Structure 1
Amino acid sequence: MLWSSSLASIVVLAASASAQLDGAQSPPSYPSPWMRGGNGWQDAYAKAQAFVSQLTLLEKVNLTTGVGWEGEACVGNTGSIPRLGFRGFCLQDSPLGIRFADQASAFPSGMNVAATWTTRLFKSRGRAMGDEHRGKGIDVQLGPVAGPLGRVPAGGRNWEGFSPDPVLTGVAIGETIKGIQDGGVIANAKHYIMNEQEHNREPSGSFAAYSANVDDKTMHETYLWPFADAVHAGVASIMCSYNQINNSYGSQNSYTLNYLLKNELDFQGFVVSDWWAQHTGVASALAGLDMTMAGDQGLASGNTYWGGNLTAAAINGTLPQWRLDDMVTRIMAAYYKVGRDTARVDVNFNSWSSETYGYIHPQANEGYQQINYHVNVQSDHAKLIREIGGASTVMLKNVNNALPLKKPKSVAVIGEDAHDNPGGPNACGDRGCNTGTLAMGWGSGTANFPYLIAPVTALRAQAAKDRTLFANVSNNYDLDAAAKAASNASVAIVFANADSGEAYITVDGNSGDRNNLTLWGNGDALIKKVASVNPNTIVVLHTVGAVIVEDLKNNPNVTAILWAGLPGQESGNAITDIIYGYRNPSAKSVFTWGKKREDWGVDVIYTPTSNPPQLNFNEGNFIDYRYFDANNIEPSYEFGFGLSYTNYSYSNLQISKNDPGPYQPTVGMTKAAPTLGTIDKDPAHAEFPTGFRAVFKYIYPYLTGPVLTNQPESWPAKSQDGSPQPRVGAGGSAGGNRQLWDVMYTVSCTVTNTGGVKGTEIPQLYLSLGAPTDPKIVLRGFDDLILDPGESNTFTYKLTRRDISNWDPVTQNWVISPYPKTVYVGASSRDLKLKGVLP
């Protein structure tokens, strides 16, 4: 990493839009901005400062450092402050439920809730998850996800996030955060930033983690965009990614943490490392890291970069007191911001054992006591999960009204994906297998199912109700049995899937990222066989993202295709609601379906050719539909596409211009960094107390050796400077300059249900920014309109200054280019029914 200081170096490097090259460097930015308590953080900041002012040095360090893997009940635990009766923080996966817990819900994936395009459901899901985490005693829910955004369709963890479109992801992550934090739990937006594939995301052997090399314009207009929305929504914590960004690790990248996040976006919460993503001690603190997880340097190592080492750095002055105080203030302000001081209950579950009694320190086998209280936090969330499951099911094909079914004489349900895992839905730890129906991917982003309704269960119940003859075949490789069952049925419903997850688990040879974009478990051959004998074959896909479906689309015997994604515990009930018309499909695809793998233009880099591996994001802003549009590639199904059991018309486009005044960059200077209380710099007072018995491999703040002084190490320029600093022109408010949210235009149109069934239409607003280097169109707004047959309603969207601006790397600010800007409104990114030029 470069250590030369000054904004000039940032501008020069950022101005080079072709910087996506091997060896691209992340410019330095110091000092780390100190919290100021603005943007609705005032009360939390005041409470946090009062709390931190009374802490000793050891107590401050204890709140920044995890106690080590399996040190206590949660996947992440900081030290506590026994003197004040303040327990440490509990941080727990995942973005779709409570990992490792019982009596809790398994929600649909982020990708699924995005497919509803319904802000009410975004926030309701967030609130339900927040309520459940609060009920288990968790302080920080490790989610939601905007990284990976979804640059490559085979990316293993794309399903944890929302969509490769930054605007859809930005709206979804913002509303999810509001819901979680309304529940009294700190939301954690992750993984910041450019964590776009699983292969080589972490150091392994002699190989360093990959470097995602990206130019400044792409960073702002695509990958940083949803994180800006997260900060604008008030997110209280953000997690660093494992990878490098322009050859500097995410947990010590001063440009992405200090400059982009804490300065430009004015983030007021705390930054936590991903588990063992920290690679330096004091350097990471100076670069903007506020909390380290799991606290140990490696899995159960017993060593730490912080803990006693951070205490020593504060004593010898390497880490200035203002920086340590800022770290702890940010952590405690997040605590007060979401009301943890009134919402907190004792941690009543345990990540490491499902038994009622066990060790509170399982790594050391110490502290045998009751560790699980089996508190049921599910409430009535099953109803919401079923609603989202149905509202996120995209109907891609429906020939001659094959759907909905109306009491057919006979039904054959075929495919392993329709059936239960014989070992139960939680048979594989962290869902690390693909047996039975797929309702979530694998990895740390999972939760235990309290139950899982398989499609065959719900469809069999419906058939019994209708007195429909019912047959089912679960073996994907017994094509003869499948054909026999299908040939005798009025309708054959074939289920197939494609799975992926986090890299620490390999399933069927797929190490996190998918090896291909085909269906798993002989799914393609199974569908082809069934369709060869049944002219009314309906296909249901549970996949983590796009798969190649062109043959299915063109097969005349495949009369309907439904994408159900990863719908969570109510999977079978949700898909039955759609198939039988209890719910009218309204979902729209949140990614593009290419005809072949090469259509996306980018792919996972499976085998590194350099050390560290260099992932050059040369496509810039052109990912997913933007790449397809720019290269005139016809997809099987476009971004935003989805059919309904009714029809809609669009008319009466209206555009009105507002005049909020000219854009004013933020100017002025910050206040000097505050220090809170005094710290005792006597090393003798920071040693383990006499007679203290340390828990094995537990991380403490006490010194473990002599405090070194007068070291020759040269720290980055200004990294220890607590004097007033210039404010950033594009910053000054949550998510960026406050004028970015000025309303520039109001766009409206009329949407009418012209069919005979009540339904929900998702009008989508796209914008052409006009420059030859811009994507043809970019999504800017959407809504969900519930319409009775013949009913009309108005879709309205307020275009902000941010919506119509581009990032200028030279001035380091947002500018409105002189090119003409055109608005499109329609039912998908390629079904643009209305068009108007912004005056």
Structure 2
Amino acid sequence: VALGNWESAYRKASSFVAGLTTDQKLALITGSSIDSTNGSFTALTFLDGDMGLQDYFYVSAFSLSSAIAMTWDRDAIYDQAKAVGSEFYNKGVQVVAGPTSQPLGRTPWGGRNVEGFGPDPYLNGLATGLTTKGYVDAGVIPGAKHFLLYEQETNRTGGGADSAPYSSNADDKTLHETYLWPFYDAVHNGLGAVMCAMTKVNGTLSCQNSDLLMKHLKTELGFPGLVWPDMNGQSSALESAVNGEDYGSSSIWSTSTMETLLSNGSLSEARLDDMAIRNMLGYYYVNLDNGLQPDHQDEDAYVDVRGNHSKLIRKNGAKSMVLLKNKNALPLKKPRVMSVFGAHAGPVIGGPNMAMNVQGSGPTYQGHLASGTGSGQASYPYLVAPYVSLTNKASEDGTMMRWILNDTYSSSSGSSLIMEGTDSTAVAASYTNYATNADACLVFLNALSGEGADRTELYNDDQDTMVNTVADNCNNTIVVINAVGPRLMDQWIEHDNVTAVLYGSLLGQESGNSITDVLYGAVNPSGRLTYTIAKNESDYNVKICYTAQCNFTEGVYLDYRYFDAYNVTPRYPFGHGLSYTTFSYADLTIEKPSNLSKYPTGEQTVGGHSDLWDNVASVSVEIANTGSLEGAEVPQLYLGFPSSAKQPVRQLRGFERVEIAAGDKSKVTFKLRRRDISYWDVAAQQWLVAAGNYKVYVGASSRDLKLNGTFTVQTSS
């Protein structure tokens, strides 16, 4: 493998390891600090996660990865990662357990989908790569997870009488085109560590799986760094070591265990050296040897690393919110009377860092949901709930605001409220009474899941009854949803009085401010869905697997690729999102590829064959802002492959978020790389460019396609 800009790190790591004794090498790969004649090394600290440091004081709680992906904004994704990385760096932590590419979101019931970037491999890969680069540029080692095909929580550590975790069984084409694809981006952008999943792939534990770790990750992708296991990810030190794991700190992978393997010849000195070098490569690659990183801090030490990150979190949170529906209800304009409903609008009764135990806590959260659980949970310095930000806005505007911060409130009695009107009228607190005569009714919903448990429903009867009750009595009912994944809404979406729906993922500490900024028009919404919202649960083709063998028989047909192939009509399609202004599309131009070789011919590099990353074609369009407000549009490029490739109807292969002033135009150009027009040839074990006609579609979502064209590719052997 041509190491490229890893070459210097490799020389340093090799030199350092060459000066170590066998005992010191063993200490290095088992997580101990060492002092040698060749220098000293303090053991690496590994910590979750992508939305900020867990369990620390004076740190920020960022948006989850699923939220930042909804911005469809490369700069926003990178900027958040660099900010997160800087907080790790300044707390003396070296390895971020992230980016979280997977769970990808094979099934919308997946409990940890909220931690990832969504089920489209192209979008997921781009976000995974940008996050990797952000961490590297902040001076910390990115540790991408979970490798590989880790797509649900059920039976992840075994089920019933079987103590073994489930096995994700996928064919070679599916593995490459869907699940391995994002890791190419991560490795290409400087990935220093990979966490292998606790589950099995094709019958073998991921952390003991030579095909995954040695063949695909370290050889095909040219990954130079270390592999470490997720909790319970290994059952044998020998099987892990000889098949690709490089670091561990459990009783299974201990100094004495590894010593025994060396002495009996099961583990070679050459493999030990390889593991030791890989443990040091990321450290040198991000220049942690320069001595500038602050010492590791105790969790409660008064070391404030937040800087001005609150502004970034608020901005990105607003940018990620998706306007699904709007019948001229938004933005709000100083409503005289505003009623707010739902537990999600207010803070939880104790918090904000109150333990969130998903198992047994139900499908909704009884407070404002802005963080994940388990590895997806951050440490809030504070949490701005919508109730707080809306109260501040009501105070500024002179709005009369009332609220019921509960999802099941139906009492006809309660504290009376004096309403504005000709006559003073005492109003009992109930959904019906508070909805009646309000200028705007805001109903807040959430959907909860996280590490340890999958979702049990994609809707909620209590919340949906609340929406309908309010809408029956308020002709301007605006629904705000923050959800861990697809949240169905067909119980009320066509109600005449549901005038707007604002939708997002979990936004971190500034969540209420971000939402209010969009509701009142301080920010023009530009978020886009990263998954399909169906009309019915039965419209999704992949459910939770309850057996030990989970067969990925759907292949590459996930989310919109399945909906398109089987003509299933979604409620809201992948890529959908509205604005407070309008846009038009025109002037599609295509610069087609010249003659290409069928297979890549570039040298094997860190990130695969070098020419996989070459730009080989481009597509341009002109976007005009035809409305009266400045706004951002996200034009999306989809490709249909030649029929011989047997690919999905359309696949995302480009997007740009472009801000345009009212009345102005902007030319948008999508660059197509060689890998973007390739598919996995199982027989040749290589990425193949199909010869023939490619269909080009450009539009505002996977279903709202404004322009189309074709280009022809000729290939040579």
TM-score normalised by L of structure 1: 0.80
Q: Is residue 829 from structure 1 mapped to residue 710 from structure 2 by the alignment?
A: no
Residues 367-412 of structure 1: per-residue CA shift (max 9 Å, x gap): xxxxx4231111100011001110000000001x110001111101
- Secondary structure of the equivalent of 1:133? helix
Letter in 2 for 1:242: M
Note the C-alpha offset of 1:431. Answer: 7.9
- Secondary structure of the equivalent of 2:204? coil
Note the C-alpha offset of 1:661. Answer: 5.0
2:625 is aligned, of 749, 753, 762, to: 753
Note the C-alpha offset of 1:82. Answer: 3.8
Letter in 2 for 1:120: D
Deviates more, 1:809-818 or 1:211-220: 809-818
* Equivalent in the alignment of 1:499: 448
1:100 is aligned, of 36, 55, 67, to: 55
Deviates more, 1:200-209 or 1:413-422: 200-209
* Equivalent in the alignment of 2:241: 285
* Equivalent in the alignment of 1:185: 140
Distance 1:348 1:472 in 2: 42
| Residues 142 and 187, structure 1, Cα contact 8 Å, conserved in 2 | yes
Distance 2:4 2:554 in 1: 35
Note the C-alpha offset of 1:659. Answer: 3.1
| Residues 586 and 759, structure 1, Cα contact 8 Å, conserved in 2 | yes
Q: Is residue 404 from structure 1 mapped to residue 331 from structure 2 by the alignment?
A: yes
Q: In the superposition, relative to structure 1, how do residues 535 and 394 fare at CA in structure 2: closer, same or farther (>3 Å)?
A: same
Distance 1:137 1:331 in 2: 18
Distance 1:664 1:799 in 2: 16
1:577 is aligned, of 511, 517, 520, to: 517
- Secondary structure of the equivalent of 2:697? strand
* Equivalent in the alignment of 2:72: 117
| Residues 236 and 252, structure 2, Cα contact 8 Å, conserved in 1 | no
Q: Matches of residues 659-808 of structure 1 in structure 2 within 5 Å? A: 659=594, 661-662=596-597, 665=600, 732-771=604-643, 773-808=646-681
Q: Is residue 544 from structure 1 mapped to residue 484 from structure 2 by the alignment?
A: yes
* Equivalent in the alignment of 2:502: 562
Note the C-alpha offset of 1:429. Answer: 5.2
Q: Matches of residues 462-611 of structure 1 in structure 2 within 5 Å? A: 462-480=393-411, 481-503=430-452, 512-519=453-460, 522-605=462-545, 607-608=546-547
Identity of aligned pairs, percent?
42
| Residues 415 and 476, structure 1, Cα contact 8 Å, conserved in 2 | yes
| Residues 243 and 250, structure 1, Cα contact 8 Å, conserved in 2 | yes
* Equivalent in the alignment of 1:263: 219
Q: What's the Cα RMSD here?
A: 1.6
Q: In the superposition, relative to structure 1, how do residues 665 and 644 fare at CA in structure 2: closer, same or farther (>3 Å)?
A: closer
Distance 1:793 1:662 in 2: 34
| Residues 154 and 517, structure 1, Cα contact 8 Å, conserved in 2 | yes
1:657 is aligned, of 592, 595, 602, to: 592
- Secondary structure of the equivalent of 1:180? helix
Residues 177-203 of structure 1: per-residue CA shift (max 9 Å, x gap): 111111110011100000000001123
Letter in 2 for 1:780: R
* Equivalent in the alignment of 2:255: 307
* Equivalent in the alignment of 1:347: 296
Note the C-alpha offset of 1:660. Answer: 7.3
Gaps of at least 5 residues in structure 2 are 412-429, 713-717
Note the C-alpha offset of 1:614. Answer: 0.7
2:691 is aligned, of 818, 825, 829, to: 818
Note the C-alpha offset of 1:515. Answer: 0.6
Note the C-alpha offset of 1:548. Answer: 1.2
Letter in 1 for 2:501: I
* Equivalent in the alignment of 2:421: none
Letter in 2 for 1:325: D
* Equivalent in the alignment of 1:157: 112
Q: Is residue 450 from structure 1 mapped to residue 406 from structure 2 by the alignment?
A: no
Distance 2:335 2:497 in 1: 17
* Equivalent in the alignment of 1:235: 191
Note the C-alpha offset of 1:276. Answer: 2.4
Letter in 2 for 1:795: V
Distance 1:631 1:135 in 2: 50
Note the C-alpha offset of 1:767. Answer: 0.3
- Secondary structure of the equivalent of 1:554? coil
Gaps of at least 5 residues in structure 1 are 1-35, 66-77, 297-302, 351-371, 504-511, 667-729
Distance 1:172 1:229 in 2: 9
1:390 is aligned, of 309, 318, 322, to: 318
Note the C-alpha offset of 1:349. Answer: 2.2
Distance 1:206 1:824 in 2: 48
Distance 1:340 1:572 in 2: 37
- Secondary structure of the equivalent of 2:244? coil
Distance 2:624 2:491 in 1: 33
| Residues 658 and 744, structure 1, Cα contact 8 Å, conserved in 2 | yes
* Equivalent in the alignment of 2:423: none
- Secondary structure of the equivalent of 1:552? coil
Distance 1:326 1:254 in 2: 15
* Equivalent in the alignment of 1:6: none
Deviates more, 1:632-641 or 1:94-103: 94-103
Deviates more, 1:430-439 or 1:97-106: 430-439
| Residues 32 and 43, structure 2, Cα contact 8 Å, conserved in 1 | yes
Residues 645-673 of structure 1: per-residue CA shift (max 9 Å, x gap): 0000011011112437535656xxxxxxx
Residues 287-344 of structure 1: per-residue CA shift (max 9 Å, x gap): 010112xx22xxxxxx333321112222333211111111111110110101111243
* Equivalent in the alignment of 1:138: 93
- Which has the bigger relative contact order, CA under 8 A and spacing at least 6? 1
1:89 is aligned, of 5, 26, 44, to: 44
* Equivalent in the alignment of 1:47: 12
* Equivalent in the alignment of 1:424: 351
Structure with bigger strand share is 2
Letter in 1 for 2:390: L
| Residues 157 and 198, structure 1, Cα contact 8 Å, conserved in 2 | yes
* Equivalent in the alignment of 1:8: none
Distance 1:269 1:552 in 2: 50
* Equivalent in the alignment of 1:21: none
Residues 794-825 of structure 1: per-residue CA shift (max 9 Å, x gap): 11111111111111100111112234211111
| Residues 564 and 575, structure 1, Cα contact 8 Å, conserved in 2 | no
Letter in 1 for 2:116: G
Distance 1:224 1:483 in 2: 51
Note the C-alpha offset of 1:430. Answer: 7.1
Deviates more, 1:113-122 or 1:818-827: 818-827
TM-score normalised by L of structure 2: 0.93
